[in-house]
Structure 1
Amino acid sequence: MIYKIFRTPEWQALRADETTLGAPIDLADGYIHFSTAGQATETAARHFAGVEGLWLIGVEDAAVADNLKWEVSRGGAKFPHLYAPLRLDQVAWAQPLPLIDGVHEFPAGLR
């Protein structure tokens, strides 16, 4: 499973359009940034600190395997990058990522 953090308008757009090229950073970089379970909390802290209205999207990596590349990024770690639009039918689940006392509350088992 790989994970994408979307702001509410980005998640709503994916639901309405049934496909997305991602957030502005994804459009600028030419691929959709994902994180592993172990990387998602740091991604939230670094790139979404203090941001409310986030959604955590879970995608089975097998569902996007044909266009998924694992590339070295932050601190030499490999991150999953999707070089194709993400389709709504590839999303396994989505849930709010609430901000509690200034920290995003991730699902149990994903920390």
Structure 2
Amino acid sequence: MTHPATAYKILTADQMAALREDRFDGAPVDLADGYIHLSTADQVTETVDRHFAGQSDLWIAAVDLVPLGDAIRWEASRGGALFPHLYGRLTMASITVHAPLSRDGDGTVQLPG
């Protein structure tokens, strides 16, 4: 199975500010689980709807998975779907583009770029 080369991290404004300064250690759920939760393009909207409902001032960052190599593990999560998990630090060097989170008219999260 071929996995996408890009995944996405949803961040609060404070987390995005920390990431820009390369001092982001993870969201509380990341720290509790021991890895950075990422989503594929197809998983982003459901991730936002489930885990960030009602929150504003969110950001979305595109993560280049290729240079992260073995630090990325594809593991079953929601409904058995494989999600990319980063076992390591997320730094700006891995981010290809980031933007405030916005949605299309049908509610789908717009990917940055």
- CA deviation string 1:11-59 (max 9, x = no partner): 001112x142211110010000000000000000000011101000001
* Count of residues in correspondence between the two structures: 107
- Kindly tell me: are residues 52 and 34 of structure 1, through their superposed partners in 2, closer, same or farther at Cα, counting changes over 3 Å? same
CA distance in 2, matches of 1:30, 1:107: 26
Counterpart check, 1:86 vs 2:63? no
Aligned to 2:111: 107
Could you tell me the TM-score, scaled by structure 1's length?
0.87
Contact conserved, 2:103 with 2:110, CA < 8 A, in 1?
Answer: no
Aligned-residue sequence identity (percent) comes to: 45
**3-state secondary structure, aligned to 1:13:** helix
CA distance in 2, matches of 1:33, 1:51: 18
CA distance in 2, matches of 1:98, 1:53: 10
Deviation at 1:94, TM superposition (A): 0.3
Could you tell me the TM-score, scaled by structure 2's length?
0.85
| Structure 1 vs Structure 2 CA RMSD | 2.1
Q: Which consecutive aligned stretches of 4+ in structure 1 deviate over 3 angstroms post-superposition?
A: 98-101
Unmatched segments (≥5 aa) in structure 1? none
Contact conserved, 1:19 with 1:88, CA < 8 A, in 2?
Answer: no
CA distance in 1, matches of 2:108, 2:33: 25
Counterpart check, 1:20 vs 2:24? yes
Would you tell me which structure has more helix in proportion to its own residues?
Answer: 1
Amino acid at match of 2:111: P
Contact conserved, 1:5 with 1:55, CA < 8 A, in 2?
Answer: yes
CA distance in 2, matches of 1:41, 1:57: 13
